[in-house]
Amino acid sequence: MVNALEKFAPLPLQEDYDNAGLQVGLTETEVSGALLCLDVTEEILDEALQRGCNLVVSHHPLIFRPLRCVSDRNMVQRCVTKAILHGITIVSMHTNADNAIGGVNDKIAEKLGLRHLSVLAPKQVGEVAGGSGVVGELPQPMKAENFISMLKERFDVACVQANQLLLRPVSRVAVCGGAGAFLLGDALNAGADAFITGEMHYHEFFGHEQDIQICVIGHYQSEQFTSELFKSIIEDRCPGVRCCLAETYTNPIIYL
């Protein structure tokens, strides 16, 4: 099953800083069930045990930086220990899934109803094609305020961080889940009326008034449907494997 995920989102597509792929455990073990999630936490592993899943497939890697020891010193170390003790394998599909054709950003575009998609910043690694972000067209042009209201409803967000409201209709939309500010220039070059991402720095909002509608909806919120992507891949390529969408809410940011 891990091979099926990596065939869809080949590891060479991951960014140089990333650590996608196998995190903990054995890949040859028979899968009793796969719990699909955005982040690996102790509560996620508890849910996996409660639901009889010995495989956790996450978007964000549990082990992002090298571990100098494995103890109970922090959450990552405790999760590694718990996974090993209970025979849980952890696999993460991170920037390789972001950069895969049909990957994380296509799922975001699907939720927005975007059509005629193309990769925003294409890349080729050997024979593997992919790239960062996607851009596409709304079914119908929308006023900026209506577009933002639609975003809030589709992604269940309390608020959207935006620059000055665009005075022209929003029709062409670029998206990048997570921390996608690095693609703002590509969105402008692609002629996008709006750019949706999960997080941006304060100063990056300046200087684009009436050029493009910036919409920042939160890192977790932008990628929350990634588990659905994993589910469709596994069910298509590994029929018979029981897939469970995690019910544990792992967003560490609260809105008061």
- What are the tokens at 41? 């936490």
Structure tokens at 134: 């996607």
Calpha distance 12→126 (Å, rounded)? 9
Copy the structure tokens of residue 202. Answer: 């304060």
**pLDDT tens, 144-163?**
999 999 999 999 999 999 99
Q: Which of 56, 58, 106, 108 is nearest to 84 (CA)?
A: 56
CA 178 to chain centre: 6
Instruction: Say what the pLDDT of residue 7 is.
Output: 94
Give the pLDDT band of residue 2 (cuts 50, 70, 90): confident
Render pLDDT for 64-112 as a digit per residue (tens, 0 to 9).
Answer: 999 999 999 999 999 999 999 999 999 999 999 999 999 999 999 999 9
pTM: predicted TM-score of the whole model, two decimal places: 0.95
